[in-house]
Amino acid sequence: MHTAHIMASCMGGIRTAGDLVAWMQLTRRMKIHEAKRYVAEKLGVDVFELTDEEIMREIRKDLGLGTVTSIAGSPKGIRAKWRIAELLGVPIRSVQLFRSQLGI
């Protein structure tokens, strides 16, 4: 269901900021406009830039939030999710489980 929601919000998922906006909608029950504003503020960009693939690729790369095609040395998988959880202040179950296994 989460993937369907991300794609339905028409924000391009991980290509742009659709996954981040969806996290806010799903975990904080924010309406889409509120979620977009929150994410834009956290990323330090304008709301309109959230859907620009070129801008968001650089931001995701710089912040270690993961990209569709991997970038050498950039976080992938759980490391990228960990960064997203920290940046947005949202609980991501896989990150919580990983942290508990590490004893953090």
pLDDT score of 7 more than 70: no
The number of distinct structural domains making up the chain is 1
pLDDT score of 13 more than 80: no
- The whole domain housing 72 covers 2-102
Half-sphere exposure in the Cβ direction for 17 (13 Å, CA): 32
Q: What is the pTM of this model?
A: 0.79
State residue 1's pLDDT score: 57
Q: Which of 26, 21, 57, 58 is nearest to 42 (CA)?
A: 21
> Per-residue pLDDT tens for 41-93?
999 999 999 999 999 999 999 999 998 888 888 888 899 999 999 999 999 99
